[in-house]
Amino acid sequence: MGDRWMTAMPESSLENQDISCNSSQFTIYPSMYPTQFAVHSSIPFSKNSYSILSAFCSEENISQCISYINQEVSSLGFPAICTECSGQPELNMVSVLNTVYELLQLHRRSQRTLENLETEQFKYSSNLEHLQLSNSKLKDQLEHSKRENTGLFERERQLQMKIKSLQNSLKNEKEEVQKLQNIISSRATQYNHDMKRKEREYTKLKERLNQLLIDKKDKKLAIEVLNYVGRSDGKRSLWKTGKTEARNEEEMYQTLLKNYESRQKDLMVENAELKKVLQQMKKEMVSILSSRKHSLKGETIEESLEQTASDNEEDVCDSSRETLELSCEHAREQLTNSIRQQWRLLKDHMEKLNSQASLVQNGKWVDNDVIPRKAHEEEMDKLKLEIQQCKDFIQTQQQLWQQQLSSPCDDETAALLNDCYMLEEKERLKEEWRLFDEQRRNFEKERKNFTEAAIRLGRERKAFEEDRATWLKHQFLNMTPFIDRKKPQTSYSHSALSKSPESEMKIVSTPGQLKKSLSHTSFSTPKATPVKMPSTTDLHRTLRLIPEHRSFKTQPKMGNLQDSILSSDISDKTRVLKAGNCSIYTLSDAENSPK
């Protein structure tokens, strides 16, 4: 076994060697084989026939054979197979066997490589065949495509030829058309000329005929009347004079004038009717819009401003009513302008409503500023029910407690306890109420701010429109001294300036409120929404949120204390807790915490 191992090792190493010098061996072997074959051409033969005569080695030439083999073997790089001991070559059996073994190994290996090579060769040849086949196929294809290509080329050429010929024919046709047109026009002119000539001749002939008829004193040409009749109107015919001519002219113009007057009257009537329609439309629009505004007005401070605005509107109404009779240009302008303005407002409103409707359809109405009344009421009912349930629950609890307490205790203690409970409850409720009040005040303040801003915005727009109208009016009537219009304008511009900080303020303050309220305020445009509705919703929201708040509120009080006393890692927690209450604190906290 150890021997095998030993032998196996060199073999593997040799193999490695072989592989490493593969290229050299490959080049060597093929060249060696033929020579070996040439040299020992008889060997395989002899091996097959086993004829002693032709054998390489015999009894006699053992020593030569040995030396020869030795030489050969050594020349091949194997260790010598005989040792020269005392001049006599001594066959070293071990080395011989080793050599033979090596040779056998070599042989086998070469056989294997040969086989490999052959299979490879076969593979290659088949590959080659395949490639040749594909090559020929591709060549065919190439040929085919080439032919096709030439065919296409040919076709293209033909088409081009065709195009050319068509273009030529087109050109010819065009020329033909041109020629024909020329011919037509020339013929037309010729025809016209001839016509004119003929007509002239014809008129000449007519003249001549007429002359002849007159000259001939046609006796037949006559009128036989028994007696002349009176005119249908009973008057006598008048002499033709300049007077009658003038009269005729006058009459003509009179009829024309009459016609124009009647037409104008018709148009006036039509105009008046249209104006009436416009007026009515405007009135209706104003009523629709003002009803909206009135519902808005409820809690706004600037009612007086509103009043003036409506006054203005009425003013416009009145003036336009006057213009119905006047129908002067500037008044018409005013009317149309005001109508346009109202229309725009109405359109905005409609669009808003539309968008709201779509929002409602999408189910986003909870976030929306305007909640349909029905939903509102539903919500309210639900909340009421909830409250009722809670109350019931509390009552039953209290009853249970009382029962529990009353069984061991006497009545007095029970009453005391009851009182205690009541007081506690009262206290808590008071606290809640206060909190809620505060919150509501905040809300209201904010809403006021918003409505104020929106109203101002609306007012400004109106002022601008009015300004424009007045400007136009000034344009049209430079004489009329409408001067005191500028005053509101300046105040409005002031308000425009003052508006921006306010809005900033709001932005700062709103995060302090609930998230929902933020969304509400940012979405709502107070003009569009009735004031009362959001307020109730807010109320409900706050109502719903009160229990949470309470828990927050009570804890932060302790938290504040803890904050001052305890370490800073609690402050983190409190900050989170406080976040529900006021972000201004949290901001300051956030600033403080890194320190």
Partner 1 sequence: MNFSEVFRHTNQLCRVSPDGKCLATCVQYRLVVRNINTLQILHLYTCLDQIAHVEWSSDSQFILCAMYKRGLVQVWSLEQPDWHCKIDEGSAGLVSSRWSPDGRHVLNTTEFHLRVTVWSLCSKSVSYIKYPKACQKGLDFSRDGRYMALAERRDCKDHISVFVCEDWQLLRHFETDTQDLSGVEWSPNGCVLAVWDSCLEYKVLLYSLDGRLLSTYSAYGWSLGIKSIAWSPSSQFLAIGSYDEKVRILNHITWKKLTEFEHPVSISDSRAVVYREMERRAVAGSDDLSIHHQIPAGTSLFSTQSKYEICELPIYVPIVKPDPDRANPKIGVSTMAFSSDSRYLATKNDNMPNNVWVWDMQRLCLLAVLEQRAPVRCFQWDPRRPRLALCTGSTKVFLWSPGGCLSVQVPAEGSFQVLSLSWHCGGDSLILLSKEHLCLCYVEAGRCVGVGVRYPSR
Q: Contact positions toward partner 1, by CB under 8 A? A: 195-196, 199-200, 203, 206, 209-210, 213, 216, 218-233, 237-238, 240, 244-245, 248-249, 251-253, 255-256, 259, 263
Which residue in 574, 295, 549, 560 sits closest to 437, CA to CA? 549
CA atoms within 13 A on the CB side of 16: 6
Please state, in angstroms and rounded to a whole number, the distance separating the CA atoms of residues 529 and 295: 8
State the minimum distance, in angstroms, from the CB of residue 292 to partner 1: 38
Alpha helices, DSSP H only, in 524-582?
A: 532-565, 568-578
∠ CA(424), CA(394), CA(380), 5° rounding?
A: 105
Which of residues 216 and 265 has its CB atom nearest to partner 1 in the complex?
A: 216
Which of residues 5 and 228 has its CB atom nearest to partner 1 in the complex?
A: 228
Q: How is 456-507 classified by DSSP, letter by letter? A: HHHHHHHHHHHHHHHHHHHHH-SSS---TTHHHHHHHHHHHHHHHHHHHHHH
Please state, in angstroms and rounded to a whole number, the distance separating the CA atoms of residues 489 and 509: 30
CB 73 within 8 A of CB 96: no
How many Cβ atoms are within 10 Å of 104's Cβ, its own excluded? 10
Which of residues 173 and 250 has its CB atom nearest to partner 1 in the complex?
A: 250
Which of residues 125 and 255 has its CB atom nearest to partner 1 in the complex?
A: 255
Which of residues 235 and 487 has its CB atom nearest to partner 1 in the complex?
A: 235
| Cβ-proximal residues to 545 (8 Å cutoff; 6+ apart), any chain | 514
State the minimum distance, in angstroms, from the CB of residue 185 to partner 1: 13
**Tokens encoding 579:** 């976040």
State the minimum distance, in angstroms, from the CB of residue 335 to partner 1: 23
Which of residues 186 and 395 has its CB atom nearest to partner 1 in the complex?
A: 186
State the minimum distance, in angstroms, from the CB of residue 330 to partner 1: 25
State the minimum distance, in angstroms, from the CB of residue 313 to partner 1: 35
Which of residues 140 and 194 has its CB atom nearest to partner 1 in the complex?
A: 194
Which of residues 266 and 318 has its CB atom nearest to partner 1 in the complex?
A: 266
Please state, in angstroms and rounded to a whole number, the distance separating the CA atoms of residues 416 and 397: 17
How many Cβ atoms are within 10 Å of 160's Cβ, its own excluded? 10
Please state, in angstroms and rounded to a whole number, the distance separating the CA atoms of residues 224 and 468: 81
State the minimum distance, in angstroms, from the CB of residue 182 to partner 1: 17
| Cβ-proximal residues to 174 (8 Å cutoff; 6+ apart), any chain | none
- What single letter denotes the amino acid at residue 98? N
State the minimum distance, in angstroms, from the CB of residue 273 to partner 1: 16
Which residue in 590, 304, 546, 258 sits closest to 428, CA to CA? 546
State the minimum distance, in angstroms, from the CB of residue 212 to partner 1: 9
Please state, in angstroms and rounded to a whole number, the distance separating the CA atoms of residues 299 and 297: 6
Which residue in 427, 379, 425 sits closest to 401, CA to CA? 425
State the minimum distance, in angstroms, from the CB of residue 242 to partner 1: 11
State the minimum distance, in angstroms, from the CB of residue 329 to partner 1: 20
CB 572 within 8 A of CB 593: yes
Which of residues 250 and 318 has its CB atom nearest to partner 1 in the complex?
A: 250
- What single letter denotes the amino acid at residue 312? N
Which residue in 369, 347, 209 sits closest to 288, CA to CA? 347
φ, ψ for residue 78 (rounded to 5)?
-95, 155
Which of residues 23 and 232 has its CB atom nearest to partner 1 in the complex?
A: 232
Please state, in angstroms and rounded to a whole number, the distance separating the CA atoms of residues 528 and 458: 11
**Tokens encoding 354:** 């539309």
Looking up tokens 């095998």, which residue turns up?
4
Which of residues 244 and 295 has its CB atom nearest to partner 1 in the complex?
A: 244
State the minimum distance, in angstroms, from the CB of residue 270 to partner 1: 10
**Tokens encoding 85:** 């001991």
Which of residues 129 and 199 has its CB atom nearest to partner 1 in the complex?
A: 199
- Beta bridge partner(s), residue 90: 83
State the minimum distance, in angstroms, from the CB of residue 222 to partner 1: 5
Which of residues 163 and 257 has its CB atom nearest to partner 1 in the complex?
A: 257
CB 80 within 8 A of CB 70: yes
State the minimum distance, in angstroms, from the CB of residue 199 to partner 1: 5
